[in-house]
Amino acid sequence: MPITAALPQENLWIEGRRSPSASGKTFFVVNPADGKAIAQVAEGAAQDVEAAVQAAARAAQGPWGSMNPRQRARVLFEIARCVREAREELALLETRNTGKPLADSRDEADVAANCFEYYAGAVSKFFGETIPAGSNGLDVTLREPVGVCALIVPWNFPMMIAAWKLAPALACGNTVVLKPASYTPLSALKLAEICAQAGLPEGALNVITGPGAVVGEALSSHPLVRKISFTGETKTGARISKLAADTIKRVSLELGGKSPNIVFDDANLDLCVEKSVFSVFSNAGQDCCARSRAIVQDKIYDRFVEAFVARTRKLVIGDPMDPKTQIGPMISAKQRDHVAGYVELGREEGADLAVGGDVPRSGALAKGSFIMPAVLTQCRSSMRVVQEEIFGPVLCVLRFKTEDEAIALANDTPYGLSGSLWTRDLGRALRVSRAVQTGVLSVNTSTSVYLEAPFGGYKTSGVGRELGMKAMELYSEIKNVFFSQEC
Ligand code: NAD
């Protein structure tokens, strides 16, 4: 791998300080747009996890745990302000590390700032109840922190998903150990510095970089970790659940998806195509919510495919630093080859490749892990390309005749994260939204993730709901206290 001359060295973040890993080992982080190393990062292991968890446990008893809610909220508001101030630096860092277009990274820095602000406000609006129980006293519930939380995040939206977890966890008074994915550790380390600058006490947030099978597993089985919040692949989530079971940790999981995009023949086709192209190809298709199965009614199937393919051909794929770029490279050559393998598999299974799927082998794009967005038509639900999460820019198009058939196809995968449906018939929109088994659904648009609203999956797509006030439930315990009036 080509290494640039002055490669930045990044350390772990434990108890408010940068520290090298106990083993002294490091790993390289690469810019997927050109394959060059951009940083050398400390590779944590069990001993580092131990130090981080102990630091978090001390902060839970000490400086962070002892702050009152108003003081906590002030720190979170200040973190939001500092993230805004560092927006451009964060966006550049994230683009160089993930390959996503700069405009997308800027949006994600904004979401991160908004998220800290939202949960700063939530601190004072999340409280217990009084319950009419018993006859001689008062029954109340209290919301208390869970304790040390391990937050394990993936590489597709590293900064945004870290913020989705950090902000509510801290708002509820917990302390955390954040474990970023090995491909993308840089924004998490920067966020830790920003949080410290904003006044978050030492130990309240620790960041341990390193392999999931070592760092993630050590966190998932550590007895002092009381809660795991994980986003990533379904099979990793299953492994974490097993490890966490021995010490009865609270576990919330945001996992994979194979989301349906149901298009009825009365839909606004122009609007639908324009939004649908980005709903599957944005972030180079590396999106758990990617609408990767278009389920299209017979009568408009050909028109949909023709318009979709034409729009796909117009997408600007290229250097993520170029403001005109809409789609950047995939996270790694390995992931790109994995996706190219799926495109080939689709053809072997009998699908038609209507556009894309090729890997640039010459010119500027050949240096990065690019693949051209692909559309597979004439797909059947039994195909592996339709059942499995490809996690790349590949759309599978299926055909249906009746509403019941559309619902059956939509529900015919093990996943249930998100989905969209397009129709101008209100009755049908209501019936189909009730019948589709997903945690989030959008009607006549492709956006279903809002900071203020619950987000999470049915079936093998996850357990629990992030975002909105629901996330506060994930990061707190309920204590019920009955006060007798006789004393
Ligand atoms: P991944 O499961 O490989 O890794 C996610 C995180 O878990 C990383 O930090 C990784 O180092 C760590 N990890 C890996 N093995 C581990 C183990 N044995 N124990 C503990 N931790 C371990 O996922 P990924 O490839 O980084 O991300 C892509 C996946 O994430 C896709 O399946 C995608 O659908 C999913 N995802 C889901 C959501 C959602 O909200 N539902 C959002 C984004 C991504």
pLDDT tens, position by position, 183-218: 999 999 999 999 999 999 999 999 999 999 999 999
Distance CA(116)–CA(97), nearest Å, equals: 23
Centre of ligand 1 from the C-alpha of residue 219, in Å: 14
Query: Taking 90 as the threshold, does the pLDDT of residue 97 lie above it?
Result: yes
Predicted pLDDT at 448: 82
Q: What is the mean pLDDT of the segment spanning 252-280? A: 98
Distance 96 CA to ligand 1 centre (A): 20
Tell the residue nearest (CA) to atom 15 of ligand 1. 212
Is the pLDDT score of 4 beyond 60?
A: no
Supply the pLDDT for residue 447: 87
> Which pLDDT belongs to residue 134?
86
Output the pLDDT for position 440.
Answer: 97
Q: Is 396 a catalytic residue?
A: no
Predicted pLDDT of residue 138:
97
How do residues 145-181 score in pLDDT, each as one tens digit? 999 999 999 999 999 999 999 999 999 999 999 999 9
| Nearest-angstrom CA–CA distance, 292 and 279 | 8
Q: Which residues contact 85 (CB under 8 A, 6 or more apart)?
A: none
430-468 tens-digit pLDDT: 999 999 999 999 999 998 899 999 999 999 999 999 999
Catalytic residue among 172, 195, 272, 288: 288
253 Cα nearest atom in ligand 1: 41
Share the mean pLDDT of the chain. 97
Confidence of residue 244 (pLDDT cuts 50, 70, 90): very high
User: Ligand 1 mean position to 323 CA, how many Å?
Assistant: 29
Strand 137-145, strand 476-484: pairing? antiparallel
List 462's β-bridge partners, or say none.
Answer: 254
Is pLDDT at 1 greater than 90 in this prediction? no
pTM for this prediction: 0.97
Beta carbons within 10 angstroms of residue 355's beta carbon: 19
Q: Which atom of ligand 1 is nearest to the CA of 157?
A: 43
Here the tokens at position 41 are 């990062």
Is the confidence at residue 366, as pLDDT, over 90? Answer: yes
Q: Give the pLDDT band of residue 346 (cuts 50, 70, 90).
A: very high
> Would the CA dihedral through 443, 447, 448, 452 be positive or negative?
negative
Pick the catalytic residue from 15, 254, 466, 473. Answer: 254
Percent of the chain with pLDDT over 70: 99
pLDDT of 338 strictly over 70: yes
Active site residue 82: no
Residue 100 predicted with pLDDT over 60: yes
Mean pLDDT on 57-72: 95
Q: What is the pLDDT of residue 5?
A: 54
Structure confidence by residue, pLDDT tens digits, 291-337? 999 999 999 999 999 999 999 999 999 999 999 999 999 999 999 99
Residue 180: per-residue pLDDT? 98
pLDDT score of 70: 96
Q: Is the pLDDT of residue 2 over 70?
A: no
Q: How many angstroms separate the CA atoms of 311 and 406, rounded?
A: 24
Q: Which of 183, 233, 470 should be mutated for ligand 1, with most atoms under 8 A from CB?
A: 233
Tell me: pLDDT of 26 over 70.
Answer: yes
pLDDT at 102: 98
Question: Cα dist. 443→188, 304, 447, 461, 466 in Å?
Answer: 34, 17, 9, 20, 21
Whether residue 209 contacts residue 180, with contact meaning beta carbons closer than 8 Å, is answered with yes
Ligand 1 midpoint to CA 49 (Å): 18
Query: Ligand 1 mean position to 17 CA, how many Å?
Result: 26
| 8 A C-beta contact, residue 122 and residue 469 | yes
Position 342 scores a pLDDT of 98
Report whether residue 271 contacts ligand 1, using a CB cutoff of 6 Å. Answer: no
Contact 286, 391 (CB under 8 A): yes
